[in-house]
């Protein structure tokens, strides 16, 4: 009993330290290191790639720190598919606040769509803009062009089709936006299934509400899907619906079987 109490007390303190480290470190690095990278790199693709790789290194260190502090455990299957995931739509479910950190830690060149507030943030905006992340308030045509440019540049574009963190126990339901994007760009889709047992950092949960034991994150990178096989439909909307249904079934099966 005492051992469990001390373990939980340690994990709560370590979790608080980890959050302070993440946000405090970001507030320091964004106005210092990232502008330095920008000043020492040629404008354009090279600067963007260096900033993305720097984010990858920072998040890889952060995940390693969480494991050393015994805040989480992590098991990954198929990590090489993400390291070699250039120019792919990386489609993942979203059980935890840590999901994007995990994926970026596994991907040397990761691109994502971010909120306007983060793009314009006083503290993190420099990092977000330097890495070339795509703001979500662009008009549809500009957003499509930005995503196309990212894929053509060889970036892996991370998308969470649920739009928000998964509610534990509820079935996976994907919005159709990612499928429209995939069919319009004729992009390969790289599915990634993420589980966390016991659940932690879920939607609506405060950071200090830690689970009774150390959570195990499992990341399973599946086989890539070529959406060009769906483009024989007369209407692209039908192809998009078919892709949504296929991926919902794919994730439901793996989450039900615990294969991640």
Q: Which H, E and C letters describe the chain, residue by residue?
A: CHHHHHHHHHHHHHHHHHHHHHHHHHHHHCCCHHHHHHHCCCCCHHHHHHHHHHHHHHHHHHHHHHHHCCCCEEEEECHHHHHCCCCCEEEECCCCCCHHHHHHHHCCCEEEEECHHHHCCCCCHHHHHHCCCEECCCCHHHHHHHHHHHHHCCCEEEECCCCCCCCCCCCCCCCCHHHHHHHHHCCEEEEEEEEEECCCCCCCCCCCCCCCCCCEEEEEECCCEEHHHHCCCCCHHHHHHHHHHHHHHHHHHHHHHCCC
Helix axes 2-29, 45-68, angle to 10 degrees: 160
- pLDDT tens digits for 27-78? 888 888 888 888 888 888 888 899 999 999 999 999 999 999 999 999 999 9
Give yes or no for a contact between 146 and 87, defined as CB atoms under 8 angstroms apart. Answer: no
Tokens describing residue 229: 């096989």
Q: Residue 239 has what pLDDT? A: 84
Q: Residue 256 has what pLDDT? A: 85
Residues with Cβ within 8 Å of residue 167, at least 6 apart in sequence? 202, 203
d(CA 250, CA 182): 17
d(CA 113, CA 187): 16
pTM score:
0.91
Q: Residue 230 has what pLDDT? A: 67
- Beta strands 89-92 and 73-77 are unpaired
Please list the ranges in the chain whose pLDDT falls under 50. 259-260
Tokens describing residue 179: 């499928």
Task: List the domain range (segments joined by +) for residue 93.
Answer: 1-258
Q: Residue 144 has what pLDDT? A: 92
- Beta strands 156-159 and 89-92 are parallel
Q: For the chain, what is the domain count? A: 1
Q: Residue 25 has what pLDDT? A: 85
d(CA 217, CA 66): 12
CATH code for the domain in which residue 40 is found:
3.40.1130
Q: Residue 260 has what pLDDT? A: 47
């Amino acid at each position: 009993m005492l051992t469990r109490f001390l373990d939980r007390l340690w994990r709560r303190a370590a979790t608080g330290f980890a959050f302070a480290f993440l946000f405090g470190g970001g507030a320091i690095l964004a106005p210092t290191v990232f502008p330095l990278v920008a000043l020492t790199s040629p404008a354009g693709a090279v600067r963007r790639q260096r900033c993305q790789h720097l984010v990858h290194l920072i998040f890889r260190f952060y995940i390693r720190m969480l494991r050393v502090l015994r805040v989480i455990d992590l098991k990954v299957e198929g990590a090489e598919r993400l390291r070699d995931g250039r120019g792919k739509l990386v489609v993942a479910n979203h059980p935890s606040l840590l999901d994007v950190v995990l994926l970026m830690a596994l991907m040397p060149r990761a691109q994502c769509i971010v909120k306007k507030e983060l793009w314009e943030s006083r503290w993190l905006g420099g990092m977000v803009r330097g890495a070339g992340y795509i703001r979500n308030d662009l008009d549809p045509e500009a957003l499509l062009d930005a995503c196309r440019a990212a894929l053509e540049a060889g970036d892996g574009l991370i998308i969470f089709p649920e739009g928000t963190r998964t509610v534990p126990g509820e079935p996976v339901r994907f919005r159709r936006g990612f499928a429209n994007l995939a069919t319009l760009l004729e992009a390969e889709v790289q599915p990634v299934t993420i589980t966390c047992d016991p659940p932690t950092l879920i939607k609506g949960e405060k950071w200090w509400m830690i689970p009774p034991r150390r959570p195990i994150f499992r990341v399973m990178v599946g086989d890539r899907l070529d959406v060009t096989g769906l483009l024989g439909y007369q209407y692209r909307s039908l192809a998009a619906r078919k892709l949504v249904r296929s991926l919902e079934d794919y994730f439901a099966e793996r989450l039900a079987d615990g294969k991640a």
